Amino acid sequence: MIHSLFLVNASGDIFLEKHWKSVVSRSVCDYFFEAQERATEPENVPPVIPTPHHYLISVLRHRIYFVAVIQSEVPPLFVIEFLHRVVDTFQDYFGVCTEAAIKDNVVVVYELLEEMLDNGFPLATESNILKELIKPPTILRTMVNTITGSTNVGEQLPTGQLSVVPWRRTGVKYTNNEAYFDVVEEIDAIIDKSGSTITAEIQGVIDACVKLTGMPDLTLSFMNPRLLDDVSFHPCVRFKRWEAERILSFIPPDGNFRLLSYHVSSQNLVAIPVYVKHNITFREGSSQGRFDLTLGPKQTMGKAVESVLVSSQLPRGVLNTNLNPSQGTYTFDPVTKLLTWDVGKINPQKLPSLKGSMSLQAGASKPDENPTINIQFKIQQMAISGLKVNRLDMYGEKYKPFKGIKYMTKAGKFQVRT
Amino acid sequence: FLSMSTNTLYNDQGGAEAAVEVGQESTPTSSGTAAGFGLFSTDFKKNEDLKEMLESSKESLKLEAMKRIVGLIAKGKNASELFPAVVKNVASKNIELKKLVYVYLVRYAEEQQDLALLSISTFQRALKDPNQLIRASALRVLSSIRVPIIVPIMMLAIKEAATDLSPYVRKTSAHAIQKLYSLDPEQKEQLIEVIEKLLKDKSTLVAGSVVMAFEEVCPDRIDLIHKNYRKLCNLLVDVEEWGQVVIISMLTRYARTQFTSPWKEGATFDENNEKAFYDSEEEKKDQVEAKPYVMDPDHRLLLRNTKPLLQSRNTAVVMSVAQLYWHLAPKHEVSVVTKSLVRLLRSHREVQYIVLQNIATMSIQRKGMFEPYMKSFYVRSTDATHIKTLKLEILTNLANEANISTILREFQTYVKSQDKAFAAATIQAIGRCATNISEVTDTCLNGLVLLLSNRDETVVAESVVVIKKLLQMQPTQHCEIIKHMAKLFDNITVSMARASILWLIGEYCERVPKIAPDVLRKMAKSFTAEEDIVKLQTVNLAAKLYLTNSKQTKLLTQYILNLGKYDQNYDIRDRTRFIRQLIVPNEKSGALSKYARRILLAPKPAPVLESAFKDRDRFQLGTLSHSLNIKATGYLELSDWPAVAPDQSVRNVEVIEPVKEWAPSVGKAKPPKQDDKFYSDSGEDDHEEEEGEEGSESSSSEDSSSSSSDSSSSEGLSFCVCIWVNIPTFGPVKSHELLHHMTGKGLSARYHFPRQPCLYQPNMVAVQVTLTNGSDHSLEEIHIGDRSPASLNLHCFNTIERLEPEASVTVSMGIDFSDSTQAANFQLCTKDDQFSVSIQPAVGELLMPSSMTEQDFCKEQGKLLGMNETSATITLAAENSSSQSLSKQVLSVANVGVVSSSENNIHRFAGRTVSSGALVLVTAESRESSTALLTINTDKSIMASMLLRDLKQALAQA
C-alpha cells in the first residue's frame, strides 16, 4: 500500500525519507513541488497527485507536508487517515510535531515508522501499544540510557496486541485514581450581514483523561442523550449498549483519549452566544474607509465569554488602519492585510468595540467585497447544546476513583459576513 | 587519527545531537571538531569513524554508531559502504541495536545481496525463538530482504509461521506473503495455498492482513471467500480498523458477483420480508413465490454488520461503509450513510477533499440524500480553493425549484469573493442552475448581466461566456442583452470573453442589424493586435454578416479576409481560405457556395452544462481512481450484478458439532463464546441477562458463523447467531398536533418537547414547533399573535417571512407553564389568517432531570413525607417487569434523571419542576408477581397525582 514517505518542510526541502518496500527515488517529489509552486496558498496543494508511475498523497500539518508514495489503487482516505495518525503519534511522543523535533528524535521517529507499517500496511497505530514497544523520550530516560546503556525498546510483544482490549495495557497502577472528562463543544456558524444565522451547527467531543488502576469498566450516562444526533466512538465503546440504552459503556485506554465526538446538526436550533454589530464602509473616490465593530454576548446563560479573538482579512486595497480598541490590543499586518484584535473577556456592561478609519490606496476603486470576520471565543462551564452528563460508574475494580467533568464551549469556524 | 575520532565521539554522546552532527559532517562546517575531521577524512572514507565504532567491543558505541547511521538513512544519504560492519551486529543481544541493524538491512540488502546472505542464519534461528515478538520480527526482516536467492527459505518460513500458535506471528506471515509475491510472482500457487489456510483463521488480528494478501495476490479467486464469507462478516466489528477497510472493499466486490441486484423495478424489501427469512422455512418459501425479489440473507448480513461501523472514528472505515451501501444496498436504504459522511466534513482538509468528491458523485444521482444537509456545504472564506469548488459543485447538484432561491442568495456572496478563481467557478455554477431550473433562468441571466459591469476582469469574462451559453438556449427575447454586451465590448480585454461576444453577435446578427456591422468595423481596425481566438471569431462574424448584409459589409469582409490570409497563425490562414471559398462565389468554388448560408447559419443546438462529476460513477466510490477520475494501476472493476444468483449453498460451512436445539424466534440465540469478540459478546450478554431471556445454547459450535447441519435447505437460519437483539432505541420523540392543515388553510403545525434546557429563560419549557405548508401557495409572515391568559410568559420564535409550498420549518419557542398543566393558548398568525392553537403539556414535560446521590435522595425524601407523599401499588405489564424497561418507561413519561440505587428492586428518579425548581422524587419498588409500589414525593401535590396517573398508565399498558 504505502511505498514510501517523504517529509517536506515549508521551504520545499525533503528532510526525512522512509521506505517500506524498494527505495523510491526522491525525485518523485518533483511532481509534488510543481504542484506546490502552482498553489497560491500552502493549503491549496491538491491532496492527491498522479505522476507517471506513482501517486502522491499528502497531508499538511504543522507546516510540514507528509507525502506518501503509492504505487497502485488504494482508498485515498486510508492513506490520509494513516498519515494523520502518524502526526498524532509524533505529537504524542515529542509534545510538538515540528521539523526540529523530528530531526532531534530521528531514531525514535524511524523506530516508530518501522512499527506502524509493515510492507506498507498498518501494523500498530494504537498509541498504547506503540508506547510499550518504544518508550517516549524524556530527558531523564535519555540520560539514564547514555550512562547505563539500556534502551528505549521493549523486548516483549505488547500485551495489547493480542488482547481483546488492544487499547489498554495490563498492569496499570496509580496511587491516585482519577478519571476526568471534558465536554468541549464548538459552534460552527455563518452569520450574514443582517445578523441572522445562515447556518449553525455544534460539534462536540468528550475528551477523557483516565488514570485508573487495573481493568476498570466504566459507564457514563447522559441527562439528555437524545441530543446526540450523530456520534462516533473510540473503539472501546460498546456500540450495542449505546444503541439499546444510550449509555456509554467501556473499558478505557490508559491516559488521554477521545471517547466520543458528536454532531448536533443544523436542523436543531443552535444558540449563538455572541453578536457583532459592524459598520465597515468604503466610499467611492475617497481614500478613507470607516471601520466600526462592537461585540456583545447573548444567550450565554449568564456565563462569561472569554478569550475572544477577532480576525479579518481586509481587502487588498487597504494600506493601513488607524483603529481604537476600547479594550484589548489590535494588530494589522500591511503585507498580508490581516487584522487581528485580541479582545479578551466581554464585559456585558461595557461592550468592547474597535473603531477608526482605514486608509486606502489613493485612486484605487473601492473593493467590491466587505471582509469576513472570524471570531474565536471560549465559554467555561457550559455546553451550548445543553448536553449534561448524568453519572459515571465504575465496575470491575474495588477502589473509589476521583471523578470530574468539565464543560466548555468554543467557537469553531465562526464567521460573520459583512 | 584513531584517538582523535574517539575523542570526538565522546564529545557528542547524546543520540539526538549525534544525528544532527552527522548531517554537518558531509559538508565541512566551521565547528571545531568537524573541521578537524575535514582535514583528515577524505571523501571515500568519510564514514571511517562509524566503522570503527561498530567494530569496537562496547555496546554503547555500537548503538551510537547505528543511531547516526539511521540518521543518514533518514536524510537519504548513502551509507551502503558500511554494510559489512553493520551486518556483523545482527545477532547482538541489545534489542535496540538489533532493531536498528534490521532497519539498515532492509534498506540496503537489495544492493548488497551477497553480504546480506550472512545474516540469514541468524533469522532462521530467531524464527524458532520462544518469544513471539522475536519470531515475528525475524520473519518481518527476513521477508523484507529483497534477495531472490532466499525465496525458498522465505517460503518455508511463511508456511511455518502460518501455523504458528501466536496470532501475531500469523499476521506477520500474511504480510510476508505479499512481500514474497512481489519479489517472485512465480510462487503464486504456493502462496495461494497459504492464503487459503490463513483465510480460515478465526483470529481478528489475522483477518485484515490475510484479506490484504488475498487482494494483492489473487483477487480473482473469489471461490476462496465463499466458505469464509459469513465468518468475515461476523468478525468485522472486532477487526482492527485498517483491516476493516480492506475487508469491506473486498466484500463489496464479492457481493456484486454473488447476489442479484436489489435495485430492480418493484423490488420492495421491507421489514416483513426480513422477518420472513428468519422465520420458518415454509413461510420463507411462500415469500419467494409471492415476491419477485428477496434479498439473499447473506447479502442482508453484510449490510447489517457493516452499518455500526459508520460510527467509527476512522474516516477511511466510514467512507468504505458508505461506498458499500452505495454499491450494494437497496436504493431506499442508502441514505443511512448521509449523516456520517456529513460528519466527516469536520475532519482535516484532506479528508474533506476526498469526502466532498464522493458526495459530489452521489449527489448527482441522489439529490434527496444530501438536500437536508445543504447548509453543511456552504462555503467559508477560510476554506482552501479546491474545497470551495467542490462545495459549489455539490450545491449546484442539489439545486431544485424549492431551494434555488436560497442557493442563489448564497452564490451572490460567493461572486464577491476575493478569491477570483472561486468567483469565476460560482458564475459557472449559476449558469448551470439557470439551465437546469427554468424558473430562474431569467433571474440568473439578469444577475449575470449586472456582473458585466464588475471591475474584475475574470468575473466579467466568465459572465460573458456563461451568458453566451444561456442565450443560445433561448435567443429570441434577448436582443437587449446582446446590445448591452456589444456596448461593453470595447472595455473587455479577456480574449475568451471577446470571442464569445463576437460569436453571439454573428450568430444573432439579424436581430441586431445596426450594431453588428459597426462591431465588425471596429474589429477590422484592431484585427492584427487581437489574440488568435478573437481573430477566428472575427472571420466568423465577417462571413455571417457577408451572407446576411453584404451591402454594408462586403468591403469590410474582404479587408478582414485579406488580413487573415497573411496571418502568422496557420489556423487563421486556413480558416480564411476556407471561408473565402465558401462565401465568395467564383468558378472554382462549385456547388458548395450555394449552401454557404445553410452551413454557416444553421441553427445550433444549445450546449448542455453538466457536472464535472457526471461520469465519475463508472469508478467504485472511495477509490483512488474515483478521486483522480482516471483508472489507477491495480484498480479492480466492480462487476455488474449477475442476472441469476450463483449457487448460495457454497457459503454454507460444515459445523463441527451440530447444533442441538433451535429457538426459532428472532434474536434469542446466544453467540458462541469467543474470547476475541469484545463488542458483540458483552453487548449481547448484557441484554440477555437483563431481560432474563435464555437463548438456545449454540456455544458448542466453534465457528461464529455456525450453520445447521442440513445446509442446503435452511441457510436462512444458519447465521442467526449474528442477529442483534432488537431493543427499540429511546423511543421517538412524541409529537403532538398543534394545527391541522384543514383548519389552518394549508398551514399545519406539530410540536414536541425536545427536553433541552430552554435557552431564553431558565424557567421556560422548550418547545419545538414544526410548521408545514400544505397549501399550493407560499405563506408569509408566520408569527405568534395574541395569547391567553394575557399574562402567559412566552418566548416567540422569529417571524417566518415566507414558507414555500411543501416546505417545512422547525422553530423553537419557550413557554413558562408555571408548573401547571394548564394549556398555553395563543394565536398562530399568517399574513392573512389567525388560528387559535393551544399547547397542553404532559406533566412529565414540566420537569427537568436533577442529579443526586442515593444518600441525598433519601435525605430529601425524608423531608417530603406526609401530605407531600403520594403512592400507589400497580400491576406491571409483562414487558415492563425488567428493571431496564421499567426505567425506560418512567423516563419516557417524565423528564427526570436516574438516581443510582444500591438495591436491585428499587428504582429512583429525581427531577425539579422547571418554573419553581421544586423537587420531584419518584421511587418505583418492584415486588413479587409483577406488581410495583410507586411513590412520588413533592410539595406540588397536584402534579404528583397527575404524574402518578401517567406513570401508572404507562407501566400497566403493554
Within-domain flag for A243: yes
Shared-domain flag, residues A137 and A33 = yes
Mean pLDDT calculated for residue range B682-700: 40
List of chain B residues whose C-beta atoms are within 8 Å of the C-beta of residue A245: 727, 884, 888
B328-347 confidence digits (pLDDT tens): 999 888 988 998 998 898 88
Task: Mutation target for B interface from A29, A59, A117, A118: give the one with most B CBs within 10 A.
Answer: A118
* Residue B660 identity (one-letter amino acid): K
Shared-domain flag, residues A223 and A115 = no
List of chain A residues whose C-beta atoms are within 8 Å of the C-beta of residue B355: 77
The whole-angstrom separation of Cα B848 and Cα B660 is 51
Shared-domain flag, residues A37 and A123 = yes
CATH code of residue A114: 3.30.450.60
Residue among B206, B184, B181 nearest B192 (CA): B181
Q: Does A245 touch chain B (CB under 8 A)?
A: yes
pLDDT value for B121? 87
Residues 6+ apart with CB under 8 A from A32: A6, A8, A45, A49, A56, A58, A65, A67
Residue among B724, B719, B676, B726 nearest B698 (CA): B719
Fold of B47-258: Leucine-rich Repeat Variant (1.25.10)
The whole-angstrom separation of Cα B459 and Cα B422 is 10
Out of A74, A229, A246, the one facing B730 most closely (by C-beta) is: A246
Task: Mutation target for A interface from B175, B313, B725: give the one with most A CBs within 10 A.
Answer: B313
Residues 6+ apart with CB under 8 A from B896: B844, B847, B849, B850, B890, B909, B910, B911, B920, B922
Within-domain flag for A167: no
pLDDT value for B954? 83
- We find that the CATH architecture of domain B735-841 is Sandwich (2.60)
Shared-domain flag, residues A122 and A226 = no
Within-domain flag for A210: yes
Name which of B517-526, B527-536, B801-810, B915-924 the model is least confident about: B801-810
Shared-domain flag, residues A93 and A218 = no
**Helix (H) or strand (E) segment spanning residue B506:** helix B495-507
Inter-chain residue contact A239 with B683, CB threshold 8 Å: yes
Shared-domain flag, residues A204 and A282 = no
Inter-chain residue contact A201 with B413, CB threshold 8 Å: no
User: Domains of chain B: which residue ranges?
Assistant: 47-258, 735-841, 845-956
Please state whether B917 falls in left (phi above 0), alpha (psi between -120 and 50) or beta: left
Fold of B845-956: TATA-Binding Protein (3.30.310)
Shared-domain flag, residues A32 and A121 = yes
Three-class DSSP category at A383 = coil
Out of B343, B625, B729, the one facing A263 most closely (by C-beta) is: B343
- State the residue for C-alpha cell 456500540: A239
pLDDT value for A158? 66
Within-domain flag for A6: yes
Quick one: DSSP state of residue A153?
Answer: B
Shared-domain flag, residues A210 and A343 = no
Within-domain flag for A169: no
The whole-angstrom separation of Cα B825 and Cα B664 is 53
List of chain B residues whose C-beta atoms are within 8 Å of the C-beta of residue A314: none
pTM over cut 0.90: no
Q: Is the pLDDT of residue B246 over 90?
A: yes
> Which range marks the domain in which residue A231 is found?
178-270+382-416
Strand-pairing partners, residue A215, are: none
Shared-domain flag, residues A357 and A372 = yes
User: How close A175 comes to chain B (CA, Å)?
Assistant: 26
User: What is the total count of domains within chain A?
Assistant: 3
Inter-chain residue contact A201 with B376, CB threshold 8 Å: yes
B590 HSE (CA, 13 A, CB side) = 1
Give me the percent of chain B exceeding a pLDDT of 70: 83
Inter-chain residue contact A41 with B385, CB threshold 8 Å: yes
User: How close B770 comes to chain A (CA, Å)?
Assistant: 11
pLDDT value for B278? 44
Shared-domain flag, residues A322 and A407 = no
The residue of chain A with its CA nearest to that of B180 is A119
Shared-domain flag, residues A403 and A265 = yes
Q: Which long-range contacts (CB under 8 A, 24 or more apart) does A22-27 make?
A: A22/B110, A22/B146, A23/B107, A23/B110, A24/A54, A24/A69, A26/B76
Out of B60, B675, B849, the one facing A149 most closely (by C-beta) is: B60
Inter-chain residue contact A157 with B70, CB threshold 8 Å: no
B929-955 confidence digits (pLDDT tens): 778 888 888 888 888 888 888 888 888
Q: Does A284 touch chain B (CB under 8 A)?
A: no
Q: Is the pLDDT of residue B666 over 50?
A: no
Inter-chain residue contact B376 with A266, CB threshold 8 Å: yes
List of chain A residues whose C-beta atoms are within 8 Å of the C-beta of residue B454: 368
The residue of chain A with its CA nearest to that of B813 is A269
pLDDT value for B315? 93
The whole-angstrom separation of Cα B833 and Cα B827 is 10
- What sign has the CA pseudo-torsion B154, B155, B159, B162? positive
CATH code of residue A216: 2.60.40.1170
Q: Please answer whether residues A260 and A218 qualify as being in contact, where contact means their C-beta atoms are separated by less than 8 angstroms.
A: no
The whole-angstrom separation of Cα B502 and Cα B776 is 45
The residue of chain B with its CA nearest to that of A384 is B759
- State the residue for C-alpha cell 458564475: B427
The residue of chain B with its CA nearest to that of A14 is B75
List of chain B residues whose C-beta atoms are within 8 Å of the C-beta of residue A263: 339, 342-343, 346
List of chain A residues whose C-beta atoms are within 8 Å of the C-beta of residue B634: 71-73
pLDDT in tens, chain A (418 residues): 899 999 999 888 999 999 998 889 989 999 999 999 988 888 889 999 999 999 999 999 999 999 999 998 999 999 999 999 999 999 888 888 899 999 988 989 998 998 899 888 988 888 777 887 888 776 666 666 666 655 666 666 666 566 667 778 777 888 889 999 999 999 988 888 888 888 888 889 999 999 999 889 999 999 888 888 788 888 888 888 888 888 999 989 888 888 998 887 656 677 888 889 988 888 777 778 888 999 988 877 778 899 999 999 888 888 888 899 999 899 999 888 899 999 999 888 889 999 998 888 876 667 767 788 999 999 998 888 888 899 899 988 888 889 999 999 999 889 998 8
Mean pLDDT calculated for residue range B311-316: 90
The whole-angstrom separation of Cα A69 and Cα A18 is 10
List of chain B residues whose C-beta atoms are within 8 Å of the C-beta of residue A109: 74
The whole-angstrom separation of Cα B624 and Cα B639 is 18
Out of B315, B687, B810, the one facing A267 most closely (by C-beta) is: B810
Q: Please answer whether residues A2 and A79 qualify as being in contact, where contact means their C-beta atoms are separated by less than 8 angstroms.
A: yes
Within-domain flag for A163: no
Within-domain flag for A159: no
pLDDT value for A266? 57
Within-domain flag for A170: no
Shared-domain flag, residues A47 and A144 = yes
